[in-house]
């Protein structure tokens, strides 16, 4: 049921709070038709495209229980922090986030501009289609480093994004601590990484810099889905993004070299912008987090959905575990170890032909 004054939707509307949101913020008039189309919002939120006469927008709402097999719950207040992160990013790089339209903190909703996929393809889709452009990775590294540099040492942002509980629920526990429970032999190492990450507060962290949350726009990458936003360890964002490129190098036939090259260039462009701390300090933390996150995408609470092959999962466990036992000092060293392990495998880890 919709309220009598709500926009008329050709499709079922999940609940009246959504149509009321349109009315309250002036996006639709009473009785004006609105078509709600569910979009792929990931595991943590509902996301809709809303088509109104002559215009479209996106509405996002955080979920209390995430859509994964494991029991993974998180506070819906993260919707407000996502909105706040996007406001921060828009002040420094307005082309790198969607235009922000309205926010209802109490309802856990916000609206932003709809970016048409024909002009703003998802980076993840491009990678899986074999469109591996090293320049895109370079632009992501530059953007991420620029935003971290802009936020570093900002006591106002540190207070606004003191979201340690959210970050623990969304990242520390499901990725690092859950993986520690799955690998008792590495438990001390992973719990130590969890503690160091949680207690490092240097810059504003996005928390989910993944190709699925990056659009490749005409003016460069556009970042989405910042609900893990936290004033913490910027090395987490770097390792989290590079992690995805390494995992995809296992499963995208014929593009392994380009994916590994993309990972290297992303790191290089990012590290050039590190001016808030000695670069070796950040690299040490990133190089320790990267194998932990690789392992987490196999044995944590959010396994990568495309790692379905036992051979791929064994490869990740083997390489990541070795790097956790004997850490290396730089991200490039991690990439070298990953590439060397791939080169030493006579066929692709899943049993396919080599690239």
Segment 57-76 shows an average pLDDT of 62
Per-residue DSSP letter, 72:
-
Indicate the pLDDT class of residue 221, thresholds 50, 70 and 90.
Answer: very high
167 and 255 assigned to the same domain: yes
Residue ranges of the alpha helices (H) in the chain? 16-24, 78-92, 123-128, 134-151, 155-160, 164-167, 178-182, 187-198, 234-251, 256-271, 279-299, 310-325, 331-344
pTM, whole model, 2 decimals? Answer: 0.89
Q: Provide the pLDDT for residue 140.
A: 98
**Do residues 165 and 67 both lie within one domain?**
no
Mean local confidence (pLDDT), 125-143: 97
CATH code of 138's domain: 3.90.1200.10
Instruction: Return all residues near 243 (Cβ < 8 A) that are at least 6 apart.
Output: 290, 293, 294, 297
- Percentages helix, strand, coil for the chain, rounded to the nearest 5? 50, 15, 35
Does 136 share its domain with 106? no
pLDDT in tens, 294-320: 999 999 999 999 999 999 999 999 999
Domain boundary among 57, 83, 113: 113
What percent of the chain has a predicted confidence (pLDDT) above 90? 72
Render pLDDT for 72-99 as a digit per residue (tens, 0 to 9).
Answer: 444 556 788 999 999 999 999 999 999 9
> How far is residue 334's CA from residue 288's CA, in Å, rounded to a whole number?
9
Domain that holds residue 78: 23-113
Q: How many domains does the chain have?
A: 2
Distance of CA 35 to the CA centre of its chain: 28
Q: What are phi and psi of 98, to 5 degrees?
A: -65, 155
* In a shared domain, residues 223 and 336: yes
Answer with the one of 59, 81, 113 that is the final residue of a domain.
113
CATH number for position 35: 3.30.200.20
């Amino acid at each position: 049921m919709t309220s009598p004054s709500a926009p008329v939707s050709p499709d079922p509307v999940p609940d009246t709070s959504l149509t009321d949101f349109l009315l309250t913020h002036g996006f639709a008039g009473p009785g004006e038709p609105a078509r709600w189309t569910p979009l792929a919002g990931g595991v943590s939120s509902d996301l809709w495209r809303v088509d109104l006469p002559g215009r479209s927008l996106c509405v996002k709402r955080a979920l209390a229980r995430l859509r994964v097999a494991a029991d993974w719950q998180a506070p819906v207040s993260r919707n407000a922090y996502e909105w706040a992160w996007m406001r921060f990013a828009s002040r420094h790089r307005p082309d790198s986030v969607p235009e922000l339209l309205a926010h209802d903190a109490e309802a856990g909703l916000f609206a932003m501009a709809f970016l048409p996929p024909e002009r703003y393809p998802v980076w993840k889709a491009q990678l899986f289609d074999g469109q591996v452009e090293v320049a895109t990775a370079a632009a992501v590294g530059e953007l991420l480093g620029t935003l971290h540099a802009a936020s570093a040492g900002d006591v106002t942002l540190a207070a606004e994004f003191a979201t340690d509980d959210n970050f623990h629920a969304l990242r520390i526990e499901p990725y690092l601590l859950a993986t520690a429970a799955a690998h008792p032999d590495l438990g001390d190492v992973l719990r130590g990484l969890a503690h160091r990450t949680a207690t490092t507060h240097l810059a504003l962290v996005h928390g989910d810099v993944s190709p699925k949350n990056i659009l490749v726009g005409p003016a460069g990458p556009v970042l989405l889905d910042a609900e893990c936003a936290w004033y913490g360890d910027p090395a987490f964002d770097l390792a989290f993004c590079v992690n995805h490129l390494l995992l995809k190098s296992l499963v995208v036939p014929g593009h392994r070299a380009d994916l590994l090259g993309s990972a290297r260039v992303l790191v290089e462009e990012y590290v050039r912008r590190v001016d808030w701390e000695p670069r070796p300090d950040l690299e040490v933390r990133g190089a320790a987090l990267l194998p932990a996150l690789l392992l987490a995408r196999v044995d944590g609470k959010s396994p990568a959905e495309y790692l379905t092959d036992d051979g791929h999962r064994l490869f990740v466990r083997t390489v990541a575990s070795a790097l956790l036992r004997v850490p290396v000092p730089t991200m490039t060293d991690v990439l070298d170890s990953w590439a060397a392990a791939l080169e030493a495998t006579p066929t692709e880890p899943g049993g396919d032909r080599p690239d």
